[in-house]
Amino acid sequence: MDFDSTFTKVEALDVLGEISLIGRPDRDDVLNQIKVITDRGMSGEISLAESLRLRLKLLNAHRDHLPALVETLMGKISDSFQRNKSFLTENADRIYVVSSGFREFIVPIVTALGIKEDHVFANTFEFDEAGNITGCDCNNPLSTDKGKVKLIRDMKLDGDVYVIGDGYTDYEIREAGLANKFYAFTENVVRPKVIEKADSISPSLDDFLFENKLSRSQSYPKSRIKVLLLENVHPVAVQLFEQEGFNVEIRKGALDEDELIEAIQGVHILGIRSKTQVTRRVIDSASKLMAIGAFCIGTNQIDLEACTEKGIAVFNAPYSNTRSVVELAIGEIIMLIRNIVPKSNLMHKGVWDKSAKNSFEVRGKKLGLIGYGNIGTQLSVVAEALGMEVYFYDVVDKLALGNARKCKSLDELLAVSDIISLHTDGRKENKGLISYREFGMMKNGVIFLNLSRGHIVDIPALVDAIERGKVAGAGIDVFPYEPKTNQEEFINDLRNLPNVILTPHIGGSTEEAQENIGNFVPGKLLEYINNGSTYGSVNFPELQLPLLKGSHRLLHIHANVPGILAQMNNIFGKYHINIQGQYLKTTEQIGYVISDIAKNYSDEVVQELKNIDNTIKFRLLY
């Protein structure tokens, strides 16, 4: 193993420069020179000997700087090395650290993670009488070009040899025929000229251990989890997945069915907003898909039944943009009932129309809410604070907040309301919920809003109601067909109608809401991928699991038929496995069993669990 930018996240001599050059006015310039020299040496552009000589000359370092350097490096050990300390300790007899760095700072770091001191091969500093670092031991082969090759050849190692490192000098060992494979380590730095020479790329030590079927701290390397994010989800979501080490691909717009089928190959986590339709055909083609995140409230764009059948958990953001939608609704109600939009349009044409005609206050008006979920209830509270009378209708029995009154039927609500606002879900049964008949039952001059789902309102019927004056003003944020990207023209019969506010599906599109969603949905997905928890899933049995400690977690998703748990426990009994915790929850379609078991078990156990009839998916976590 290499040390700089492999065992640690940094190049130690660069850090030493940051310490030794404190107080120098040209510090930043010198540090930049050192970094450039380091990169050129690691990429093979200049010789190792030249790189060392130039850097040591610039450092102006002293023996007294080394304790601070070691302390800093202790906090810069690569994350995957820290996670796999037990592997390093258990296999210390077979692990060597070979570096062009210096023993004075390498030995304290690597021995803290179990590496043997006599298995560390590196340069040593030379000091003058005052303790200044003047150079290195020139008799050490590691101070010369191809020094690692010379050293490994002299070591005459038995058995297979694997080299893990980020630099060209690490590749030279493989080039000389002294190693079976060279793994380019990219957790901390990516050097294209090194990668192109590598037999394999290891984004972390976990990847190396996984590929070679060695003991490790994680059941799978995070870099092998592929995440596809569509429709401009908030950057904080991208950051959260990348921080976890996942392989993230971003696409700005929505994809049609064929495009999504092509893009979803090899994807484990899919993130979408409201435009992308995840059909059964898409689900059937996604052989590796484990979870879907809807970065919005609704999930009607996802075939939940198909996802459940395939053992794919779906999560959404039921609360994160509620306030944003409510504020837009309140703003539009006031703008429409005051007839502000036509007056503003006239002002832009130079027409001064100062008049109170058809301009009203919201105080005392009757607001009818169709749908009384998270958004409907919050809108109810805010509207009541503005002095409005609130009525609501919902197919599900809901507790009224404040002085809101529940209507027995949709017809009753339509007849009583001065203002009507839609906040229903997107189920197929709601298509065309508001059409010619429903508009005919409304008061003359009603204000009408739809900030829920486009297919709920019959657009020709709405156009007719506006043209006849039945609807005095409308605010529409959602449409039966919406452009896939900002470059596509929006075409709809509502364009150019008077006192109509048209917005491009932005009810939840505020910076605050999108950031909240960007944090919330990845949080649920990561809990599921890393821990197995399904709390908040819209299609899975909901389980909030404890953190995994000291055991292996077996996650078994199966069709909800009798006897699965008994079969699993029979297998555990057959192999004398101690169950440290077990959790089961079912829905009508599927069952979800989580078993935390002692670490010592044979591979046959996993295979037998996978082979149980009606198994949909099986995962192993540790």
Q: Is the pLDDT of residue 225 over 90?
A: yes
Whole-number pLDDT of residue 50: 85
Instruction: Provide the Cα torsion 216, 220, 224, 230; round to 10°.
Output: -140
Beta bridge partners, 62, equal 132
For range 215-240, the mean pLDDT: 92
> In this structure, are residues 517 and 357 in contact, taking their beta carbons and an 8 Å threshold?
no
Tell me the three state secondary structure of residue 582: strand
Tell me the CA distances in angstroms from 571 to 109, 550, 590, one per residue in order.
44, 21, 21
Print burial letters for 264-280: b (CB count within 10 Å at least 16), e (below 16). beebbbbbbbbbbbbbe
**CA atoms of 417 and 385, how far apart (whole Å):** 17
CA distance 263 to 266: 8
Type of residue at 281: R
Look at strands 313-315 and 291-294 and give their pairing.
Answer: parallel
Mean pLDDT value across residues 338-358: 94
Q: If you average pLDDT over residues 56-75, what whole number do you get?
A: 94
Tokens representing 329 are: 């609704």
Residue 48 has pLDDT above 80, yes or no: no
DSSP letter string over 159-178? S--EEEESSHHHHHHHHTT-
Q: For 407-432, how does the pLDDT look when each residue is reduced to its tens digit (9 = 90+)? A: 999 999 999 999 999 999 888 889 99
Write down all domains in the chain, each with its CATH number in brackets: 12-212 (3.40.50.1000), 225-315 (3.40.50.720), 321-502 (3.40.50.720), 546-621 (3.30.70.260)
Q: 302: helix, coil or strand?
A: strand
Residues marked as catalytic: 453, 482, 505
| Structure confidence by residue, pLDDT tens digits, 480-501 | 999 888 889 999 999 999 999 9
Average pLDDT for 118-146: 93
Cα separation, 148 vs 161, whole angstroms: 13
Residue 272 · residue 292 · CB < 8 Å: yes
Contact in structure between 48 and 41 (CB atoms under 8 Å): yes
Contact of 187 with 243, CB cutoff 8 Å: no
Has residue 118 got a pLDDT over 90? yes
CA dihedral 545, 549, 554, 557 (to 10 degrees): 10
- The position carrying tokens 């510090």 is 27
What is the rounded end-to-end Cα distance, in angstroms, of the chain?
25
pLDDT in tens, 133-177: 998 998 999 999 899 999 999 999 999 999 999 999 999 999 999
Give the three-class secondary structure for 563.
Answer: coil
**Average pLDDT of the residues in 118-130:** 95
Q: What is the mean pLDDT of residues 4-33?
A: 93
Q: What pLDDT shows up at residue 69?
A: 97
Q: What is the DSSP string of 313-371?
A: EEE--SSTTHHHHHHHHHHHHHHHHTTHHHHHHHHHTT------TT---STTPEEEEE-
Question: What is the predicted pLDDT for the residue at 52?
Answer: 83
> What is Dmax (Cα atoms) for the chain?
99
Mean predicted confidence (pLDDT) in 74-103:
96
What the block records as the tokens of 45 is 């552009």
Please tell me the pTM assigned to this model. 0.74
Contact 55, 21 (CB under 8 A): no
The secondary structure of residue 215, as a DSSP letter, is -
Quickly tell me which residue has 């509270």 as its tokens: 381
Cα gap 590→560, rounded to integer Å:
4
Where residue 46 falls among pLDDT bands split at 50, 70, 90?
confident
- Of 179-183, 424-428, 475-479, minimum mean pLDDT range: 424-428
> pLDDT digits over 271-312, tens only?
999 899 999 999 999 999 999 999 998 898 999 999 999 999
Q: Angle between the 603-610 and 564-574 helix axes, to the nearest 10 degrees?
A: 160
Q: Pick left, alpha or beta for residue 563 (phi over 0 → left; psi -120 to 50 → alpha; otherwise beta).
A: left
Closest CA to 14 of 139, 188, 173: 188
CA distance 207 to 223: 8
Q: Could you tell me the sign of the dihedral formed by the alpha carbons of 7, 9, 11, 12, in that order?
A: negative
